[in-house]
Amino acid sequence: MAADAPLLRVERLTRDYGRPGQPVTRALAEVDFVLARGELTALVGPSGSGKSTLLNLVGLLDRPTSGRVLLDGCDTTTLDERALTQLRGRTLGFIFQFHHLLPAFTALENVLLPAWADEGRPSSEARVHAAAMLEAVGLGDRLHSRATELSGGQQQRVAIARALARRPPLVLADEPTGNLDTASSDGVFELMRRFNSEQHTTFLVVTHDARIADRCDRIIEIVDGRIRVDRRR
């Protein structure tokens, strides 16, 4: 990985949907942008503008119709499924709107999942670190609570701890506060800002909340699958 390369480079990224022989829907049209390390960027735009499509492509959960995603200097379009999965597990953290914790697992087990999935068995160091992450998000006393026993704000904090547990350089957050009240939203954003400042984690945050977007370092606005505004504060 090239240390001097930008963390994320998106080049002429296009994603079409539709079956062969059917009319094509272009969700994303030749999008270009670069994310520098340590940026906290808001991705905004109306519903159906292509934000989630872009996040899925950047998150290596989907493949583009054309264009490239370069993550930490690595061209991801050339990788096979197995390599993509490995890269995703080690380089990216995800925070989803509906937090998407696994209800059958405890808070600690949910945070351990990425290490567990990658290493087969979580090391004792990973366990200690996962507990420390939960401590850091204010849930040190809920390590062994089932996900379903936690409030919405607490679940989202567990999701943040999970996303950051393996110290990924880039965290992708899909409306992380979309399902929370104002106080919980502020708490979640402050957590992201704290990790961004303290650990220089780069965040790309899809949000509809103008208050959250305004507190980010940079705002990228997408309309009809194209970048309309890209401004730094």
Partner 1 sequence: MSFAWFVALRYLRDARGQTTLILAAVTVGVSVIVFLSALINGLQASLIAATLGSQPHVTLRPPREAPRPVVAATPGHVIARSVQPASQRLRSIDQWPRVMDDAARDPSVTAVSPVVTGSGVVTRLDAHVPVVVRGVEPDRFIAIIDLPSRMIEGQFAIGAGRVVIGRDLAEDLGAAVGDRLRITSTEDVTDIVTIAGVFALGNEGVDGSWIVTSLPHAQALFALPGGVTAIEMKVTDVFDAAGVADDLARRTGLTADSWMTVNASLLSGLAAQASSKTMIQSFVVLTVALGIASVLIVSVVQKSREIGILRAVGTPAHHILLVFLIQGGVLGLTGSIIGSGLGMAFAKAFETVAVNPDGTPRFLVQVNALLLVQSTLLATGVGLLSAIIPARRASRLDPATAIRGG
Closer to partner 1 by CB, 111 or 219: give it.
111
Q: How far is the CB of 56 from partner 1 (least distance, A)?
A: 4
Selected from 38, 116, 178, 217, the binder of partner 1 by CB under 8 A is: 116
Q: Which span sits near partner 1 by CB under 8 A: 43-51, 82-90, 126-134, 192-200?
A: 82-90
Could you say whether residue 1 binds partner 1 (CB under 8 A)?
no
Q: Which helix (H) or strand (E) holds 110?
A: helix 107-119
* Interactions with partner 1, residue window 121-140 (CB under 8 A): 121
Per DSSP (E only), the strands in 89-194 are 92-95, 170-174
**Amino acid type, 164:** L
Query: What strands lie across the sheet with 40-44, from one edge to the other?
Result: 92-95, 170-174, 202-206, 40-44, 218-223, 226-232
The span from the CA of 34 to the CA of 230, in Å, is 11
Residue closer to partner 1 by CB (options 114, 153) is 114
16 near partner 1, judged by CB under 8 A: no
Closest approach of partner 1 to the CB of residue 88, in Å = 5
Q: Check residue 203 for interaction with partner 1 (CB under 8 A).
A: no
Stretch that binds partner 1, among 18-26, 37-45, 84-92, 135-143 (CB under 8 A): 84-92
Report the C-alpha gap between 96 and 209 in whole angstroms.
15
Burial 108-138 (b: 16+ CB within 10 A, else e): bbbbbbbbbeeeeebeeebbebbbebbebbe
Q: Which two tokens stand for residue 1?
A: 């990985």
What 3-state class would DSSP assign to 152? helix
Residue 13 Cβ, how far from partner 1 at the closest point, in Å?
15
Please choose, out of 2-10, 35-43, 81-89, 136-144, the segment that lies near partner 1 by the rule CB under 8 A: 81-89
CB 215 within 8 A of CB 226: no
**Total number of residues binding partner 1 (CB under 8 A)?**
27
82: how many CB neighbours lie within 10 A of its CB? 8
Give residues 153-192 in contact with partner 1 (rule: CB under 8 A): 162
Told to check if 230 binds partner 1 by CB under 8 A, we report no
Name the site residues for partner 1 (rule: CB under 8 A).
Answer: 52, 56, 59, 61-62, 81-82, 85-86, 88-90, 94, 96, 100, 102-105, 113-114, 116-118, 120-121, 162
